[in-house]
Amino acid sequence: MRLARIWTLFKNTLTAIGRGELLLRLNAGKYLPHILYTFFIFGIIIWISVKTDDSINQMERNQATIKELRQENAKLRYKMARTASRSAVLDRLGKKKSALGEPEVKATILEK
């Protein structure tokens, strides 16, 4: 007898959910604005959480890009400093068979 009553209650609850009458049967209609407000707040919290996660992911991608660009910048600075050195300039002039080279006589300093 008791099992039949539980089955009937379960079946009535499922049909009420299917028809959309569950809150009315539980006499929770007076709390409907509060329930809707709660779902609205939960929706906002979920949306903020997703946006925060997206911004953190973007920040991590940007930090990886910055790290790569810093490495490339260091390589280019090293290359620029190496090509601007006196020995590198003399080597390039020698490869091009230029007559230019280091001066053999000291420069004369003109005074005012």
- Decide if 39 is inside a domain: yes
- Decide if 101 is inside a domain: no
- Decide if 97 is inside a domain: no
Q: What is the pLDDT of residue 23?
A: 74
Domain that holds residue 39: 9-92
- Mean pLDDT, consecutive 10-residue stretches, the chain (112 aa), reads 85 85 78 90 98 97 97 92 80 83 81 79
Q: What is the pLDDT of residue 85?
A: 80
Q: What is the pTM of this model?
A: 0.52
- Decide if 108 is inside a domain: no
- Decide if 1 is inside a domain: no
DSSP structure string for the chain: -HHHHHHHHHHHHHHHHHHT-HHHHTT-GGGHHHHHHHHHHHHHHHHHHHHHHHHHHHHHHHHHHHHHHHHHHHHHHHHHHHHTSHHHHHHHHHHTT-S----SSPPPPPP-
The number of domains in the chain is 1
Q: What is the pLDDT of residue 1?
A: 62
- Decide if 4 is inside a domain: no
